[in-house]
Amino acid sequence: MSKTKNQKKLIIVESPTKSKTISHFLGDEFLIESSYGHIRNLPKSNKKAIDIKAGFIPHYEITKGKEDVVSKIKSLAKNASEVLLATDPDREGESIAWHLKETCGLKNPKRIVFHEITENAIKEAINHPREIDENLRQAQEARRVLDRLVGYDLSGLIWKKVRYGLSAGRVQSPALRIIMEREREIRAFIPENYWVLTGEFETDPHSAKGSDVASKKDKIILTCDKEPADEKETNRILEAGRANPWHIAEIKQTEAKRSPRAPFTTSTLQQTASSRLGFSPSRTMMVAQKLYEQGLITYMRTDSVIISKEALPVIHQEIEKTFGKKYLEPRIYKTKSKSAQEAHEAIRPTNIGLKNAGANEEQERLYGLIWARTISSQMTDAKMLRTKVSANINKEGIIPNFSVVGSITVFPGWLAADTEAQGEEVQIPKLSKDEKLELLNLESQGKQTEPPGRYTEAGLVKELEKREIGRPSTYAYIIKTINDRGYVTKDGKTLHPTDTGEVVSDFLENNFPKYISDSFTAEMENELDEIAEGKIKYEKVLKDFYGPFSKDVKSKDKIDKVTNLGDADEKFKCPVCNGPMVIKLSKTGKFLSCAKFPECVGARKADGSIMEGPKETGEMCPECLTGKLVEREGRFGKFIFCSNYPKCKFIKRSAEEEAKAKTGVKCPKCEGEIVERRGRFGPFFSCSNYPKCKFIIKSRPTGKICDLCGSLMMQGTKTIPERCSNKLCPNHNPHKKPVA
């Protein structure tokens, strides 16, 4: 069919919010549609996902639920005069554009790229369309395929050798290793005792000469310059200090300056948002994505600290207008990262005159942070007067000086825009040399040296960037993955490795040190960059990696299963037979098991406290006929299992748990009763005659029958207390509008 003048140009983006923002800048000749993110993905089965022999060819399938989206785009493209793919300006965006072209059968679509959603940027991009960049697309595909191959092969081995359900990954495992390395440093640290001596003083306004003498009494706190070697020396200093008068021994003042920081990259935005706003990296990226889609900031996945030539004059004008000309100092920052190629500009507001923006409080706070960082990066240094005041007793050389260091802001410079960067400065009163001080209190506090601190999420992002593990778009995902897997827990702001995380990391470090090392991971990232630059071929990178890797994985298939994690402390004896114990891993973490298991089933908690032991029921196992049935407490209540476990894997609920599981509701398909069961995705309800009867519902049945379709009613949510178990029935979700 020939194109007519009335046909519109179709622009496809990933997000409905982005679609809505763009529509404000374009006329009626454009139609803007969203793909709602990725429309295709690799299937769950690894055998179907990648054809390794054919050259690592991935076989994609339409993401479940996206069939209607694909159908609609096909229909709109058929009647469009031109199709423009306006997905995000990075490798992932290039990949989504390619998938749209392939899946929807788009003929000769053009790719447009912009780093900010503003009228000028969008129209400029439309005037300069290009083809889909195959190098960028293949770099993203290589990352996806590599992660799948490594994840499946390593995870499969860990399932067999450690415990079912665990996982490993190409970049998540090096991140976990870094956390464990710090944890080992903390455990190996031997604290040393030391003493901190602090004196509280009051100034004497009549004791010194000159015009700079304080006009009123001021309090000042000073700390001993030299930490005492032992308690005896501490007491000597305290006695001398309390017995003698004090005076100002020395005042040193030096001029100093603080230079502004470079504009935000993805990494520095995540770090600063974590320390100042308490945002996790994933939360920061989610909020930043919304700001970008609303056209408020430039693209938020970038390694660059460069501000565009068009934006700099506007920023300079805003500084002169808001703070004055003396605060302006034009600066050019150079990007340090060798791999900075995802975007060509730092994160900044698109309209620098807009100081407050965002649809909610989270967006306002993050936008304010970005605005302050952008403005302050083009401002003058802050000028400070560093002051060190030292005091001592009148008997010279008897004890060390007591001092305090503070600073006075002479000229705020960039701190006028980024006020939170100033921090807490110690305020020092006006003092002069030889001025008398009145001692109010002199005390010592015994302390111990502390081990290095655990990583915060911001600290881990900084470390990953430093070691070139991952890229801007992956930092948040890496941290989220190790959290979701239960390999780390968050205590306040710090990341603590769990028992499971430690076992997985140890297994990988012992068996695959090469593949989770800094150098290997960074080298792989560089090779992905070279694919994006067209310097190396997709298939060569994957072949060079996967050949040796798959052989290494297969060679480890012969190693023994990691059932024991080592001998327990000798002081912890088996509570049943008084024999030695070993450390084992369960789904909830480490515990101590009798070394004679399964002959003896005695167990303790990881801290050595006695775990409620198994109780014999007096019955024989109905499966193996030789083992005794025993009852014990599990993570989901009491259960009964065979004493011959793991040779015999018979297991059932205890009578107490069976009673709790009963609902009293008859199965609508047979004479059974609906009972509660637990699967890998949580609790569900099914017939007691399973597997003969396979009736199943998601929530607890209420016993009532739906008046529309006759199905069982089940418990719902706060907004829908009761709903039909039939998903096709209108009573399943009464709030949902009926389909026309």
| Distance in angstroms between the alpha carbons of the first and the last residue of the chain | 31
CA torsion angle 32 33 37 39 (round to 10): -140
CA dist 664 and 676 (Å) reads 11
Helix and strand totals (H; E) in the chain: 18, 30
Q: Decide: 223 and 404 in contact? Cβ < 8 Å.
A: yes
Rounded distance between C-alpha atoms, residue 513 and residue 557, angstroms = 16
Q: Using CA atoms, how far apart are residues 171 and 168, in angstroms rounded to an integer?
A: 9
Exposed e or buried b for every residue in 613-637, given b needs 16+ CB within 10 A? bbeeeeeebeeeeebebbbbeeeee
Tokens of 559: 């190693």
Residue type, 411: F
d(CA 513, CA 505): 10
DSSP 252: E
Distance CA(389)–CA(391), nearest Å, equals 7
Q: Which of 108, 130, 118 is nearest to 26 (CA)?
A: 118
Distance CA 526, CA 93 (A): 20
- Catalytic member of 152, 292, 299, 546: 299
**Structure tokens, 192:** 């040393």
CA gap 288, 297 in Å, rounded: 8
On whether the CB atoms of residues 564 and 584 are closer than 8 A, the answer is yes
Whole-angstrom Cα distance, residue 85 to residue 35?
10
What are the C-alpha distances in Å from 715 to residues 639, 664, 687, 723? 26, 14, 17, 6
Locate tokens 């030789």: which residue? 626
Residue 292 bears catalytic tag: no
Phi-psi region of 348 (alpha: psi -120 to 50; beta: other; left: phi over 0): beta
8-state DSSP, 63: P
Angle at 267 between CA 261 and CA 269, to 5 degrees: 60
Contact 339, 468 (CB under 8 A): yes
For residue 595, which amino acid is it? A
SS3 203: strand
Q: Omega into 691 within 30° of 0, i.e. cis?
A: yes
Rounded distance, CA 249 to CA 434, Å? Answer: 6
Q: How many Cα atoms sit within 13 Å of 539 on the Cβ side?
A: 7
CA angle 489, 495, 497 (to 5 degrees): 60
707's enclosing H/E stretch is none
Residue numbers annotated as active site: 299
